[in-house]
Homo-oligomer: A and B are copies of this chain.
Amino acid sequence: MLPYDKLKKIAYGGDYNPEQWDEATWEEDMRLFKLAGIDILTLNVFSWAAIQPSEDTYDFDRLDRIMELVRKNGMKVCMATSTGAHPAWMAKRHPDILRVDFEGRKRKFGGRHNSCPNSPTYRTYAPRLAEKLAERYKEYDNIVVWHIANEFGGECYCENCEKAFRGWLKEKYQTIDKLNQVWDTAFWGHTFYDWDEVVVPNALSEHFAEDFTMFQGISLDYRRFNSDSILDCYRLEYDAIKRVQPEASITTNLMGFFKGLDYQKWAKYMDFISWDNYPQIDDSYARIAMSHDLMRGISHGEPFALMEQTPSVTNWHQYNALKRPGVMRLWSYQAVAHGADTVMFFQMRRSIGACEKYHGAVIDHVGNENTRVFREISALGEELEKLGSRTLGARTKTKIALMMTWDNWWALEYSAGPSRDLKYITEFTRYYEALRNMNYDVDIIAPQDDFSGYEVVIAPLLYMVREGEDENIRQFVKRGGTFVTSFFSGIVQENDLVITGGYPGKLRDILGIWVEEQDALPRNAKNSFIYKGKEYPAFLLCDLLHLEGARQIDASGYGSDFYQGSPVITEHKLGDGKAYYVATATDEAFYRVFLKELCDVKGILPVMDIPEGVEAASRENEKERFIFLLNHTNETKTVDLPWKGTEIISEQPAEKQLVLDAHDVKIVAVSKS
């Protein structure tokens, strides 16, 4: 949980790197921060080399001065441990800290996020630095949260990792026979007789390319191992800080739908979730919301910190368009609407050298307050000051959940066949966007989670069903739940071994169908089906299925090809609930109609019924419900209100109608009493 006792309002600030500037500039920065309503600074993100100039020397002098200055100016601190990039001298002296890349090449010093997660050097020096920082600054009660390393990620394929991988496997599978069985090494004669025969799966062994492997089981375990190895590094630092400061609130900045790390597992070891929101230029607003909901989901509904976003431009997209006037504010409130209790930026002052110098900042290269961006930031600062603690800790309540796991994502996309275009997040997004665009609040959960709070659970492309997950779903349906899944689901167990006896494997009895074949359609090819009198396209994959208790609820099956007439949408009653199967990919129009029906039956309503392009999302606490109205369009929109409340940014009564200008935001608080 976020340390609300220390935060008191939506923390507003971000990454600040005074080490890049002279002390005169620091003073000017403090003036500007106050002008902008900034109250929190993330410090020390990349200072390892500065703080530890050699093996046994630590030099905190400059950081001490920075800390003093910041405290003196009444700012809170998000204290980073600086271990996101190791010092050059360390790379030279201890090359085990350098990674070996996917191509099998030992890297040299450079970049960031560059340390081998199984390097003895890294595992020694990184937690040691965290501990020293915790000790040195333990009296600073303006340190409100701790921030370990930075945007953990990447892979290493070095000898230390290879050895550690063998150890990890041995612990997991115990015997080499078990290993051979779960990896199905009888295929292509890959039988291992000794753990030492196992090599890391990369371009030199089992892979054609990063996402193309010849042995899915091996590669899948390496992904798990790599995520765990990096998590170990995080935990070593976490434990080091806690030894000194048991009350510290510790996080690391995640990255939304980041494929490399199993955040559902990571979340267990984080005091609260924080993340960096950098949408792609063509992301829909629903797609951005989906990432927020995932971050809220991995923390089981707890609010999270928006650790980074750009005030204006990024520098690393193909085309770095400016955030249009109002958009920074709009997206800040969107984060809050979905569960963020901080609004923070990368970066506070724009650096002058290296690759991020054209990334936007609160203080631009011109160095003063006379910019559009600074003015927008100041205005938002003022609003957040006024909002105070009112929304802090409020939670989203919904009866609808989408289900995802990293294991499923990894396994599905390692699959050789049936279609190169089969992408997990793409299919997942189709369902999410349909719901979000109708303004249903949605949770994103894991299959092993407790479903008891939900009435509709949707698991698009549930390719992998791990031990116990089918039973969780089965009980949910039997108790009256509505379950939806799609084509190519239930295919494999946790080691990517196919469940024989007919697809969708362990989901077969739940869904009441048998899928005999799957037809992959080339890009742009289409079949079709009719549902409630309207025709929809069928593309990507068409499952050919037989009813085994389920009933067909589309009008007449596929519209063409040799499987013309074969069912596309099926419904199966099980116990008190129903399980649905969508045998192909189709367009948003269908998902909207179909999912709305399922919700209607359960009496689940959207947050509000409002014009297209305006998002409505809700949070609530014991006293009030907050409805966030976010106008993502370039036009003025009028919203009809079904209840009376207060617009809490303007502190004006809200009833009957609200008018939102282009990119405008309104937050209506409705009393629950």
Contacts and interface: CB of A to CB of B under 8 A. Distances in A.
Interface string A404-440: 0000000000011111110000000000000000000
Interface in A167-220: 183-194, 196-201, 203-207, 213-217
Contact of A354 (B217, B516, B518): B217
A418 B358 contact: yes
A501 B498 CA distance: 63
B522 A321 contact: yes
A203 B104 CA distance: 13
Contacts of A517: 312, 322, 371-373
Given A111-B206, A417-B359, A519-B322, A85 B372 contact: no
A364 B421 CA distance: 23
B88 A204 contact: no
Contacts of A602: none
Contacts of A186: 17, 19-20, 46, 50
A513 B305 CA distance: 40
A197 B499 CA distance: 54
B107 A366 contact: no
A137 interface: no
A49 B366 contact: no
Contacts of A103: 105
Q: Which of A17, A19, A49, A351 has the most CB of B within 10 A?
A: A49
B320 A17 contact: no
Contacts of A187: 17, 20, 46, 351, 353-354, 356
Contact of A497 (B325, B352, B497): B352
Nearest to A634: B562
A314 interface: yes
Given A188-B112, A204-B106, A352-B500, A321 B521 contact: yes
B502 A108 contact: no
Contacts of A416: 315-316, 355-358
Closest 8 A-B residue pairs measured CB to CB?
A: A184-B353, A110-B205, A315-B417, A358-B417, A49-B191, A88-B197, A46-B189, A352-B498
25 contacts: A20-B186, A50-B186, A54-B193, A86-B189, A88-B190, A88-B191, A92-B194, A92-B197, A105-B204, A109-B197, A110-B201, A111-B205, A111-B206, A184-B353, A312-B517, A315-B418, A316-B416, A319-B523, A352-B500, A353-B496, A365-B498, A365-B499, A366-B502, A367-B500, A371-B517
